Amino acid sequence: MESRTAEESIAAILAGETSSAELVEDAIRRSEDDPWGAFLARDGERARARAKEIDAAAERPPLAGVPIAIKDVLSTRDLETTAGSQILKGFRPVYTATCVERLEQAGAVVVGKTNMDEFAMGSSTENSSYQLTKNPWDLGTVPGGSSGGSAATVAARQVPWSLGSDTGGSIRQPAALCGVVGMKPTYGAVSRYGLIAFASSLDQVGPFARTVRDSALLLSHIVGQDPRDSTSLDWWKPIEMPTAERLDGVKIGVIQEMLDNGIEPGVKAATEAAIATAEGLGAEITEVSLPSSRHGIAAYYLIAPAEASTNLSRFDGMRYGARAEAEDLLEHFERTRGEGFGPEVKRRIMLGTFALASGYYDAYYARAQKVRTLIVRDFVAAFENVDLLLSPTSPTTAFKIGERVDDPYAMYTSDVCTIPMSLAGLPAISIPCGLADGLPVGLQLSGPAFSENDLFSAAHALEQAIAFDATPAGVA
């Protein structure tokens, strides 16, 4: 069966050309045929039952029974949820994350959980303690991370869309490397109830899809306040399906810092071509500087580990998942955490604990927070003059498996273009804008808080004009 986008799938179901059962069966078959290693857990039986129920219902729910995959950082009741970590091996949550529950209520059918860097720490999915995920464009390269499985599964046409989480770039960067659309909403837009926390002042859930419209459709069903997450916002304006074909009068600022240092020539060329396309559609292009953004990585790698070090203290072998054999309580904690966490997670816990230690707090954590404020101010100043900002999503295309895994600093630089928006809590979207040496390049558009509709609208117009054929060879 030919793969359809989510919107096409819904239309085909409503026209009686296919059914949820048929689409879900196809997605299950595709998820089982998984040379990319995108899936960790599958839920065929429950998915089949749910599809049948939706097909038989008197009234079709809005998402009509279209299959979806979920990053393994989101809790799914009775379905193993590991966050890519051995410490949660065998953990079956007793409840489902609000965002997943909302999608199920809207008629999406969960077929499985996707691979990820352990606790969402990484940029290549190589930090998963279970398996590698391979980029469908070139099996020798990484899919990006941490939501590598969710990006790869959409690129590989196993499912039309998926959910991921983004703390410093984990939706946008893998979307860029896999040639799909990835969107990180405004901080607080989507409930994090049931999201296994990494860095709570940064974490957001968002969609992966093949088109900007599918991305908007998915987001429209998960935004909104949730009494079980006090940081979730009362979302007063509905997410609209974008239709714009032009960008007349839209002021777009090109972020200077993100076109110069360390950007691969092929990425720069594709970005410049996209800028020319935007201009052709009527956008007013200017240059914008975010001077403090160059300190983004340094600030992020103090703030995110600091928050992670406290968030991950709950994994003690008492309440969830794996439990090591031990003689006494202290040994129990030490062995469970020593054996259960992988090297990157331990590195972050140590970094974060150090940054928060009383003698170092002001020098590291407090200073990083001040840098964060400066970055926020840079954005505020920029949005006085422009509507949206544009940059590459990732400085490079997909890199080789193994290339950066022993060099944390090289891995950390993958997010140089995405971290500033995360620190400022802003929405941003990555769309494919072309190829460099046969691998996809992602274009990032970002906007002020709550500018989701404007972002989708501009991204849609650009996507239509760029008309990138984002199907990897060998994928149908």
Nearer to ligand GLN, 150 or 167 (CB): 167
What is the smallest separation between the CB atom of 199 and ligand GLN, expressed in angstroms? 8
Q: Can residue 170 be called a binding residue for ligand GLN (CB under 6 A)?
A: yes
What is the smallest separation between the CB atom of 175 and ligand GLN, expressed in angstroms? 12
Which residue among the candidates 3, 20, 71, 293 is catalytic per the annotation?
71
Peptide bond into 146 cis (omega under 30): yes
DSSP-derived pairing of the beta strands 388-392 and 251-255: parallel
Do residues 410 and 404 touch, judged by C-beta distance below 8 A? Answer: yes
* Type and span of the H or E element at 280: helix 265-280
Q: Can residue 188 be called a binding residue for ligand GLN (CB under 6 A)?
A: no
Q: Note every long-range contact of 52-56, with CB atoms under 8 Å and residues 24 or more positions apart, other chains counting.
A: 52/20, 52/21, 54/20, 54/107, 54/109, 55/19, 55/20, 55/21
Place of tokens 């914008």: 288
Query: Active site includes 3?
Result: no
Nearer to ligand GLN, 158 or 170 (CB): 170
Length of the chain: 476
Size of the site for ligand GLN (CB under 6 A): 13
- Of 9, 128, 158, 167, the residue at the interface with ligand GLN (CB under 6 A) is 167
- Of 9, 114, 135, 146, the residue at the interface with ligand GLN (CB under 6 A) is 146
Nearer to ligand GLN, 82 or 123 (CB): 123
Place of tokens 């359809």: 4
What is the smallest separation between the CB atom of 412 and ligand GLN, expressed in angstroms? 7
User: What residues pair up with 441 in beta bridges, in sequence order?
Assistant: 434
Which residue among the candidates 75, 128, 150, 170 is catalytic per the annotation?
170
Do residues 283 and 53 touch, judged by C-beta distance below 8 A? Answer: no
Query: Active site includes 162?
Result: no
Question: How far is 233 from 191, CA to CA, in rounded Å?
Answer: 8
What is the full DSSP assignment across 81-121?
Answer: --TT-GGGTT---SS--HHHHHHHHTTEEEEEEE--SGGG-
Mark 87-126 with x for binding to ligand GLN (rule: CB under 6 A) and - for no binding. Answer: ---------------------------------xxxx---
Question: How far is 466 from 427, CA to CA, in rounded Å?
Answer: 22
Q: Can residue 37 be called a binding residue for ligand GLN (CB under 6 A)?
A: no
Nearer to ligand GLN, 96 or 173 (CB): 173
Which region, judged by CB under 6 A, interacts with ligand GLN, from 131-139, 168-176, 239-247, 445-453?
A: 168-176
Which residue among the candidates 3, 31, 124, 146 is catalytic per the annotation?
146
What is the smallest separation between the CB atom of 400 and ligand GLN, expressed in angstroms? 17
Query: Minimal CA–CA distance to 425: which of 128, 204, 163, 159?
Result: 204
Query: Active site includes 251?
Result: no
> What are the residues binding ligand GLN (CB under 6 A)?
120-123, 146, 166-170, 198, 304, 415
Catalytic residues: 71, 146, 170
